[in-house]
Amino acid sequence: MGESTRKPQQDSWLIELLARIKTLIGGELSHLLTVNRSKRPWHMPIIAAIAISFPVFVGAYFGDLSSGIKASLGAMVILNTPLVGKLPYRLVTVMAWSFAMSLCFALGLIAQQVPVLKLPVFTLMAFGIVILGRYYRQPPPAGLFVMMAGAIALFIPLPLEALMPAMGLVMLGSGFALILSLLYSLFLVATRPATPTPTYSYEPDTLGESMIVAGFVSLALLITLMLNLANPYWAAISCFLIIQGIHLRTVWIKQIHRLLGTILGLGLASWMLAWDLPIWGVASAILLMMLCIESLVDRHYGLAVIFITPLTIFIAEYGSGLPFTEQAYQSVIQARLFDTAIGCLVGLAGAVVMHSTNLRTPLRRMEKWLLARFE
């Protein structure tokens, strides 16, 4: 009698467990597959794609693709153009990011000449980029392409005499993006309802969270350096993308998007690189990929990553000016997959630490002490 009553109870417990698992899986799949409505103007992706790809076309016209790609790195600051606020706020924001882009690229090139400085300089860049993004009220991951430019500069193979021209190209690209941002901001202010300008003020926890982000991003870079992986900066960039989720669930979903999108993106990159594109083909591919990325990034991050992966490979490898053979791009694709996996794992660990209430208390105490000392 006892065994007969115990068995239905066990069956009901098992059914309830399976139902919970099914609900959990369904919820996760719903978050992974949801495509959101875009909150940005429909013409923003077109303006961004034109601004970033135009220097590449100019480089292709003069037969110097690598120079055009370096200038396109600087032009990526147009992605930091605010869509709210009055015109002065929008311009000052883009100008600040333009300065940060040029400074980080220059610091990366300088630190490249003294290898022992690579990690501390990168940590300093990451710390400053996070603070700048918080100060100008930009949504995460603000400063992604600024960090990418600085990270590429740390490892791109350039002789000493080529450093100043490379810095100038990035500054030219930033200047072009600033002019285009001015024209686009004038158009937005004239055609859209007025929006309040965000105020510049210090946000609580900015110092503590910036230290955590910079620390874990640098840890991701250190791990790949110790493993002697090619293009170690991909791990740091992946970590930077993952760690800045508002909630741990956001971080988890973004990590899955990043990994799945990278795997599919690597397949797309391998397919595109196998075409052995001419310089005009590379420029056209960058234009199309930027258009896809900016159209998808606020709708579904995973779909955007499918195009971000080949875009960053094109920029890093074709921008180096070195011959890009089939063997070279196969090794790059393999290294990118390992680097991304390492960056995602470190970023997830960093997000757990960032959301830990036990750690926030001493960090807030330290932050208040520092702010009181410098008032």
| pLDDT tens, residue by residue, 132-176 | 888 877 776 678 888 888 888 888 878 788 888 989 999 999 999
- The sign of the dihedral angle between the CA atoms of 220, 224, 225, 227 is positive
**Band of pLDDT at residue 374, cut at 50, 70 and 90:** low
How many whole angstroms separate alpha carbon 81 and alpha carbon 95?
10
Q: Does 276 reside within a domain?
A: yes
Q: Does 10 reside within a domain?
A: no
**Band of pLDDT at residue 204, cut at 50, 70 and 90:** confident
CA distance readout (Å), 146 to 44, 58, 106: 19, 22, 11
- For residue 218, pLDDT beyond 70: yes
Q: Does 61 reside within a domain?
A: yes
List the domain range (segments joined by +) for residue 231: 41-373
Q: Does 15 reside within a domain?
A: no
pLDDT at position 197 is: 77
Q: Does 31 reside within a domain?
A: no
Q: Tokens at residue 319, please?
A: 């921008």
- For residue 54, pLDDT beyond 90: yes
Let me know the angle formed at the C-alpha of 302 by 129 and 32, rounded to the nearest 5 degrees: 120
Q: Does 325 reside within a domain?
A: yes
- Average pLDDT over the chain reads 80
How many separate domains does the chain show? 1
Q: Does 177 reside within a domain?
A: yes
| pLDDT tens, residue by residue, 287-312 | 999 998 888 877 777 778 888 888 88
Count other Cβ atoms within 10 Å, centred on residue 41: 15
Q: Does 161 reside within a domain?
A: yes
pTM for this prediction:
0.82
Let me know the angle formed at the C-alpha of 106 by 102 and 108, rounded to the nearest 5 degrees: 120
Q: What percent of the chain has pLDDT over 70?
A: 80
